Amino acid sequence: MEGQRLYRQLGLPLDVAEWPATEKSKLLDKISELVDFEFVRALTKPYFSHIGRPSIDAVVMVKMMLIGYLFGVPSDRQLADDCADRLSFRRFLGFGMDEALPHHSSFTHWRKRLGPGFFDDVLHEIVRQCVEGGMKVSGTRCVDATAVKAQAGKNGPVVRVPKGKPVNEFLDDYFDGDAQPAPPDDRSATPINTHDPDARAQSKPGQLYDFYYQPSFSSCPLSGLITDTCVSGFERAQTAVDHVDRDPFDVDELCADSLYDDGQMLVQLFERGVVPYVPRKNHDKPGQLSKNTFAYDPDRDMYICPAGKELKHSRYDEAKREHFYIAKKSDCDACPLKSQCTTATRRTVTRKDDEWARDQTVRAGPRYDALMSARSTAEHLNMLAKRDHGMDRARALGVDAMRIQTSLTAVAINLKKLVGWRFSLCFASILWTLTAASATRRRHGLGAGQYRQSLRD
């Protein structure tokens, strides 16, 4: 049965105005003023029976979790201790000084009961409240992922899954003694840490080889709000489509880096009415003239090489969904560009069925340049998540736990942006008032004291 408690004052013999105002208490007070958390009860209602012993108040649990992500508290145990010790935390939660707060083990039970989908809904509702509060969200999204170290490590119980074998199926057989891992020298095998099979071993420039997750933020460059999150073992182009499908608002444009230059994903974006702005990924072989220098003629279904010769359709690979276009040997033999073009007797160019989507993707122009610059917003959000909100490392095992961590981190960042936006709005209003008053005083030739006296009169 879902529980609900009444908000209580701290019960101190001090007036609220006399309490020392710290940065944390001011932030929490502003969040309480700007955000209505009552929607949490409506979201948690399907997870509880209408009979039985009342649970902990869902609003209290979500608020406690958010405190941990707002201030980068690294563990549930420390979060429970901090909430019990700090007056500002108790006031934010509505607990009196004589009341006991939930035990740290409750967080684990609540996360398992609610699942990652619930916290996605919390994120989307917070974004809606930010927009209702006056923040602007455009139809443009920037998508970017970052590597987060998993709890599992390369020195743990690692097995190598043979190529083409589903990981979960192999692990079931492996633990039953019915499967053997691939040998250490098999580079095509997939290393898996059995403590956390969802994480993937990877290494990028400036990053040590280890097991990581790839949380992805979809953000609005106009406001800096994170509108949706996704998590996977590897950074995948398909996450861009997942973001668009789950976004609480309509998406018209999407910008990302060259990893998202994937034909199948781009086709799905166009089908949803989304214009992609993505740099072209280089698929050319070293020492070979770029395929981009060949012009495709859709009417005749052929390519024209830089020397003006035709490459006609030769065959179609149904498994790869790929067409092959080949030049005449006589044309290549007489071509002065052959040494730069190919080492074969004649040049072959391939074209996938979804190549049209890559051709229509915006890769140049003023709007493209502006959105590529706006991508720094998404990279900045990843930096904030790691530096201020504890997303430099996974807090628990499994992709579901990482999804919950990513969603709550996004909520914490959005709440801080809402508070900062309201502060800047108030500051701008005060500045405008002072400027208007100064102009009025100068227009009437009044001194500052005379102007104040005129207002009192």
Closest CA to 371 of 252, 451, 281, 254: 254
Domain-ending residue, one of 83, 100, 132: 132
**Into how many domains does the chain fold?**
3
Residues facing 218 on adjacent strands: 143, 228
In this structure, the answer to whether residues 215 and 345 fall within a common structural domain is: no
Domain-ending residue, one of 314, 335, 360: 360
Residue 6 pLDDT greater than 80, yes or no? no
Asked if the structure places residue 383 within a domain, the reply is yes
In this structure, the answer to whether residues 46 and 120 fall within a common structural domain is: yes
Q: What is the mean pLDDT of the chain?
A: 84
CA distances from 415 to 38, 116, 117, 273, 411 (A): 16, 19, 20, 30, 6
In this structure, the answer to whether residues 353 and 394 fall within a common structural domain is: no
In this structure, the answer to whether residues 259 and 372 fall within a common structural domain is: yes
In this structure, the answer to whether residues 95 and 49 fall within a common structural domain is: yes
In this structure, the answer to whether residues 244 and 118 fall within a common structural domain is: no
> DSSP assignment of 130-199, as one string?
HHHTT----SEEEEEE--EE-SS-TTSSEEEEPTTS-HHHHHHHHHTT---PPPTT-TTSEEEETT-TTS
Residue 252 pLDDT greater than 60, yes or no? yes
Closest CA to 388 of 71, 26, 23: 71
Torsions phi, psi for 98 (to 5 deg): -95, 5
How confident is residue 452, by pLDDT bands cut at 50, 70 and 90?
very low
Least confident of 70-74, 276-280, 283-287, 307-311: 283-287
In this structure, the answer to whether residues 402 and 333 fall within a common structural domain is: no
Q: Which domain holds residue 301?
A: 291-360
pTM value > 0.85: no
In this structure, the answer to whether residues 408 and 390 fall within a common structural domain is: yes
In this structure, the answer to whether residues 217 and 120 fall within a common structural domain is: no
How confident is residue 456, by pLDDT bands cut at 50, 70 and 90?
very low
In this structure, the answer to whether residues 98 and 228 fall within a common structural domain is: no
How confident is residue 13, by pLDDT bands cut at 50, 70 and 90?
very low
The per-residue pLDDT for range 211-237, each reduced to its tens digit, is 999 999 999 998 889 999 999 988 889
- The answer to whether the beta carbons of residues 283 and 355 sit under 8 Å apart is no
Asked if the structure places residue 263 within a domain, the reply is yes
